[in-house]
Structure 1
Amino acid sequence: MFRFGEPLYLYLLIVVPILAAFYFYSNYRRRKRLKEYGDMELLKQLMPEVSKYRPDVKFWLMLAAMVMVIFMLAQPQFGSKMETVKRQGIETVVALDISNSMLAQDVAPSRLEKSKKLISRLVETFNNDKVALIVFAGEAFTQLPITSDYVSAKMFLETISPSLISTQGTDIRAAINLAMKSFTPNDGVGRAIVLITDGENHEGGAIEAAQEAAKKGIHVFVLGVGSPDGSPIPVEGSNEFRRDKDGNVVVTRLNEEMCREIARAGNGMYVRVDNTNNAERALNAEVNKLAKADVETQVFTEFDEQFRVLAWLALILLAVEIMILNRRNPLFKNVKLFKQN
């Protein structure tokens, strides 16, 4: 396994294209000024020792050496020893409703964005736990299989939008059924399905699916996002709202009764998500009550530092750069490695 011990130093690589752009611009200005002095062919004859390519080679050698140093600071490492360790944890499958109604803005900034932030903060509280991510609308599919890689979980959250599923609607039953299949076969581990939706179940069968999950020892927690008073659904990329076939603005309302029934059938808890953090605290408290079992995970426990190779490369590049002069060296006038102007 390869990793960087200090990956924050990699942000310094942003400087590389900036320096390259500045160098190209400086060369352009220099050539432009030379043309103002007179005919370029005459200037070449007056400066026979000036090399066209040597300054470029020196610059790129220096830039390459700087890149090596940045990678060296980031501490590249290769895993050299893998061990199977046991950790105490639970398994949580988050099923997120991404139907168009989740674009409603009765919860700021929108139902969907509020839900994504809530999931992100939930993942941050995990320690030795496993998480999976399912998205659903008219159908459901796995966005992230169950994993302990919390960085990937948060990364996948950023890409979620209603456009991921072309079939619109809200099939909560399909989401719960898929979630039940997403857990590992480990015995004794606490399992939870966190269903985040506005409760507008268009397909039916959600309560039966939650009851089936409860029979398997899986708790179904439901987070209802939105307002019972309702809100229009914005059309992405415009200031318009979605309308029905008669031209009336579509209003979507949080179906709290449906959410409560699903949570009750799934031996879980219903929490309404508003513009506060109350839902997050209540969910964390309930999830932490689940039984934590020993979960075997293979991890790298030893890493070998690889910065020495990069240090030698940087040193060689700098040595070569120092030995190359901007002008031709009279001692090597018969050696033509670079073309002269």
Structure 2
Amino acid sequence: MWDWFSTDWLSWQTLRSFVWADKIYLYGIAGIPFLFLLRWLFYNRGQQKLGLSLSGPQLKTRWVSYLRFLPPLFFILGIAFILISMARPQRVRESKEQFSEGIDIMLAMDISDSMLEKDLNPNRLDAAKNVAREFIKGRFQDRIGLVIFAGESYSICPLTTDYDLLNEYLNDINSNMIKTSGTAIGSALATCINRLRDVPGNSKVAILLSDGDNTAGNLDPITATDLAKSFGIRIYTILVGRDSKNVKVDESSLREIAKQGNGQFFRATDNQTLKNIFGQINRLEKVKIKDNIYRDVEDFYYIYLNWAIVFLLTAFFFKNTFVGNILED
């Protein structure tokens, strides 16, 4: 009950520690001296004063004369603490809870023989693997899976947040893993859909990386794209490589897949461009983080209101009791 009756509440350090709900009242403290100036101008100057010669030691007379300032001093303190109370000093304790919604990403990588072309360094497949590692390193709380395809498609790594395991699978990828020749883009998309369709959440993405047109498989890529849309899966397509004497790249089908799949089409003609493409996808597909902030607000206005009452009562005591007569004599 008497916790408020402590001089610690009056220290500058304590006052600085507060958050003020109505800070504007604090500026009123600066106006208190003007009230006393006005009082002096319109009241004291109109009073007739009689000079008296006081007997006794001069030091005692001087000391007693200072006591007449006590009533106005306590009155000033009372008004100041009323203003402090009205400014509502508070202490706010905040706690934050973060909920992150990761993105589910299936990375489908073409490993057909044409991916061994050396227009990228050291070749298209290894360049894609290197950049994929950097892409995985930059993700946060996303589940990522791997699909490889040539004339057929296989899922070699399910959706996982174990990025070390994912990199091990990525390191093992080579063009000899699928013997069937060709490029089954439709089948690769279907494999991605099978991994993503039953996954809860709204952030599902397939990234398809290839250097050619659909030349194998039984499923048309556009049909697979429509199926992906029905499951809320966005599709990004990356065309890797440049035209050469041995291999022609065809971007029309990959561009159409990205358009129909609510994603984007990219073309990588060198290592740096490929790296920049994965960087763009990294920025486009950000983890959604929701913050719930809880605030615990504790008011301390009553502390300073109690002090204000103490100071005003003290001023009243000095002014309107026999003590006041002693101070004025």
TM-score between the two structures when normalised by the length of structure 1: 0.52
Answering whether residue 277 of structure 2 is matched by residue 263 of structure 1, we say: no
Mean Cα displacement is larger for which, 184-193 or 156-165?
A: 184-193
Q: CA deviation at 1:222?
A: 0.6
Answering whether residue 286 of structure 2 is matched by residue 272 of structure 1, we say: no
Number of residue equivalences: 191
Q: CA deviation at 1:291?
A: 6.8
State the SS of the aligned residue for 1:133. Answer: strand
1:213 aligned residue: 228
Identity among equivalent pairs (%): 28
Tell me, in whole angstroms, the C-alpha distance in 1 between the residues paired with 2:190 and 2:152: 11
State the SS of the aligned residue for 2:155. Answer: strand
Decide whether the 8 Å contact of 1:188 with 1:293 is kept in 2. Answer: no
Matches within 5 A, 1:146-185: 146-183=159-196, 185=198
Mean Cα displacement is larger for which, 174-183 or 272-281?
A: 272-281
Residue from 229, 240, 243 that aligns with 1:225? 240
Tell me, in whole angstroms, the C-alpha distance in 2 between the residues paired with 1:264 and 1:191: 16
Decide whether the 8 Å contact of 2:140 with 2:287 is kept in 1. Answer: no
Decide whether the 8 Å contact of 2:120 with 2:271 is kept in 1. Answer: no
Decide whether the 8 Å contact of 2:131 with 2:278 is kept in 1. Answer: no
Matches within 5 A, 1:119-158: 119-158=132-171
1:110 aligned residue: 123
Tell me, in whole angstroms, the C-alpha distance in 2 between the residues paired with 1:263 and 1:172: 12
Judged with a 3 Å threshold, the aligned counterparts in structure 2 of structure 1 residues 86 and 186 are, in CA distance, closer, same or farther, namely farther
Q: CA deviation at 1:287?
A: 4.5
Matches within 5 A, 1:55-94: 87-94=100-107
Q: CA deviation at 1:118?
A: 1.5
TM-score between the two structures when normalised by the length of structure 2: 0.54
1:302 aligned residue: none
Decide whether the 8 Å contact of 2:226 with 2:260 is kept in 1. Answer: yes
Tell me, in whole angstroms, the C-alpha distance in 2 between the residues paired with 1:165 and 1:201: 16
Larger radius of gyration: 2
Structure 2 residues without counterparts, runs of 5 or longer: 1-97, 290-329
Answering whether residue 210 of structure 2 is matched by residue 197 of structure 1, we say: yes
- After superposition, the C-alpha distances for 1:138-186 in whole angstroms (9 at most, x for unaligned) are 1111111110011111111111111101111111111000101112734
Decide whether the 8 Å contact of 2:239 with 2:268 is kept in 1. Answer: yes
Structure 1 residues without counterparts, runs of 5 or longer: 1-84, 232-250, 295-341
Tell me, in whole angstroms, the C-alpha distance in 2 between the residues paired with 1:213 and 1:257: 19
